């Protein structure tokens, strides 16, 4: 493997000194970019794009050509694991992800197998290998997975949900079934992320998009406990470097102290918490990633720059901050504003 030319992102996640604040953007390879929309049209469906390693590599590289980003992230979907378990993932136009065969009972959960990532999810590890080769040490590559709880919400609901009645109904009425499902998912996520690391991912992130819909106790028992289990089962070194792990629970700002105790290296933050308050609460335990409201990008270069400066000032001059949005970039953002964002982070993040 070639030497990493820009390791600012990995250094910040490990709280090592950096020259300036690193930045990447959740969903940086996405629909706001015309070149992405062209690749997507060429591929056919969204899943055709995910399952073709060359096209997945192509779209992963696109934002790096436009912007001075400090990390690449594997282009994939969080629902690859349930799909590999046989639930039949498809995307209804304008309706988001759906499963042909949702899981609603203990009997159905018992039948689920743990996918072998180098078999059923080979297209993902192939994409990681292809992207690493293409990156040639330019910036690190992030691998990722959905959290067990987040995957379970889609598997039980059969798709996106507003009120999570089915999955939380199962949690409250049949907690044993829910724990069996989450156990299988935690095992699957662990081997999936380890396969991504073996294939070349230099950092990994677990997206707990729906953990914030739980109570404090059910969050601890049904989401955080399984993320902790995954963290403890991950390969933490590759190419002679530590592989940092980031946990991100959207809407989880109330539980940062608990998340920081899982053994992870960093926490992703949504925009509802001020970065200085988050930092005070987690202390030196973890680095922080975030946390600009994606909607600021609808605004002007002046407002974007001012907001970036405010966030960086809140964190302060020590290392341990990776700039990002608090959630994925929206489809209708002007790509020019992303350039303003990335350059502002590097400008205002400079260490004296």
Give yes or no for residue 215 binding a copy of itself (CB under 8 A): yes
Give yes or no for residue 296 binding a copy of itself (CB under 8 A): yes
CB of 348 to a copy of itself, least distance (A): 18
What is the x/- site pattern for a copy of itself, positions 248-287, by CB under 8 A? Answer: ---x-xx----------------xxxx-------------
Whether 27 is catalytic is: yes
What is the x/- site pattern for a copy of itself, positions 298-337, by CB under 8 A? Answer: xxx--x-----------------------x--x-x-----
Residue (79 or 275) nearer to a copy of itself, CB:
275
Cα separation, 26 vs 128, whole angstroms: 17
Whether 305 is catalytic is: no
Positions 159 through 188 that interact with a copy of itself (CB under 8 A): 163-165, 168-169, 171-173
> Which residues are part of a known binding site for substrate?
27-31, 77, 154, 209, 327
CB of 103 to a copy of itself, least distance (A): 16
N-terminal to C-terminal alpha carbon distance within the chain: 32
Whether 154 is catalytic is: yes
What count of other Cβ atoms lies within 10 Å of the Cβ of residue 328? 16
CB of 219 to a copy of itself, least distance (A): 8
Give yes or no for residue 2 binding a copy of itself (CB under 8 A): no
Cα separation, 321 vs 266, whole angstroms: 9
Cα four-point dihedral sign 65, 68, 72, 73:
negative
Give yes or no for residue 45 binding a copy of itself (CB under 8 A): no
> Which residues are part of a known binding site?
27-31, 77, 154, 209, 327
Whether 67 is catalytic is: no
Give yes or no for residue 212 binding a copy of itself (CB under 8 A): yes
Q: Which residues contact 232 (CB under 8 A, 6 or more apart)?
A: 263
Catalytic residue among 8, 67, 70, 77: 77
Computed on alpha carbons and rounded to an integer, the radius of gyration of the chain in Å comes to: 19
Q: SS3 for 62-109, per residue?
A: HHHHHCCCCCEECCCCCCHHHHHHHHCEEEECCCEEEECCCCCCHHHH
Give yes or no for residue 106 binding a copy of itself (CB under 8 A): no
Q: Which stretch binds a copy of itself (CB under 8 A): 63-71, 230-238, 239-247, 292-300?
A: 292-300
CA atoms within 13 A on the CB side of 297: 27
Residue (153 or 319) nearer to a copy of itself, CB:
153
Give yes or no for residue 214 binding a copy of itself (CB under 8 A): yes
CA atoms within 13 A on the CB side of 260: 18
Phi, psi of 34, deg, nearest 5:
-60, -35
CB of 93 to a copy of itself, least distance (A): 15
Catalytic residue among 8, 11, 27, 132: 27
For a copy of itself (CB under 8 A), the number of binding residues is: 32
Catalytic residue among 32, 36, 67, 154: 154
Contact residues for a copy of itself, defined by CB under 8 A:
163-165, 168-169, 171-173, 212, 214-218, 251, 253-254, 271-274, 293-296, 298-300, 303, 327, 330, 332
Q: Which residues are catalytic?
A: 27, 31, 40, 77, 154
């Amino acid at each position: 493997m070639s030497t990493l030319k820009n390791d600012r992102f990995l250094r910040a996640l490990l709280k090592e000194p950096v020259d300036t604040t690193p930045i990447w953007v959740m969903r940086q390879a996405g629909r706001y970019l015309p070149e992405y929309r062209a690749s997507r049209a060429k591929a056919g469906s969204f899943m055709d794009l995910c399952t073709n390693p060359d096209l997945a590599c192509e779209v992963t590289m696109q934002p790096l050509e436009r912007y001075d980003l400090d990390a690449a992230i594997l282009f994939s979907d969080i629902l690859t694991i349930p799909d590999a378990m046989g639930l039949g993932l498809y995307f209804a136009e304008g309706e988001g992800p759906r499963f042909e065969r949702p899981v609603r009972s203990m009997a159905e959960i018992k039948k689920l197998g743990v996918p072998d990532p180098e078999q059923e999810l080979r297209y993902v590890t192939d994409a990681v290998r292809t992207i690493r080769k293409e990156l040639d040490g330019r910036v690190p590559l992030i691998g990722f997975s959905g959290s067990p709880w987040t995957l379970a919400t889609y598997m039980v609901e059969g798709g996106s949900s507003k009120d999570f009645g089915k999955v939380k109904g199962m949690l409250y009425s049949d907690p044993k079934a829910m724990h069996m499902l989450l156990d299988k998912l935690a095992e699957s996520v662990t081997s999936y992320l380890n396969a991504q690391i073996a294939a070349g991912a230099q950092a990994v992130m677990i997206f707990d998009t729906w953990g914030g819909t739980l109570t404090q106790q059910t969050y601890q028992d049904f989401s955080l406990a399984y993320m902790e289990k995954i963290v403890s089962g991950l390969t933490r070194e590759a190419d002679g470097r530590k592989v940092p792990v980031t946990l991100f629970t959207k809407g989880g700002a109330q539980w940062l102290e608990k998340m920081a105790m899982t053994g992870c290296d960093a926490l992703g933050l949504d925009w509802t918490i001020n970065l200085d308050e988050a930092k005070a609460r987690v202390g030196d335990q973890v680095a922080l990633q975030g946390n600009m409201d994606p909607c600021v990008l609808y605004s002007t270069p002046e407002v974007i720059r001012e907001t970036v400066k405010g966030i960086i000032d809140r964190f302060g001059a020590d290392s341990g901050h990776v700039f990002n949005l608090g959630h994925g970039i929206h489809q209708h953002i002007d790509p020019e504003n992303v350039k303003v964002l990335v350059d502002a982070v590097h400008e205002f993040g400079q260490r004296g």
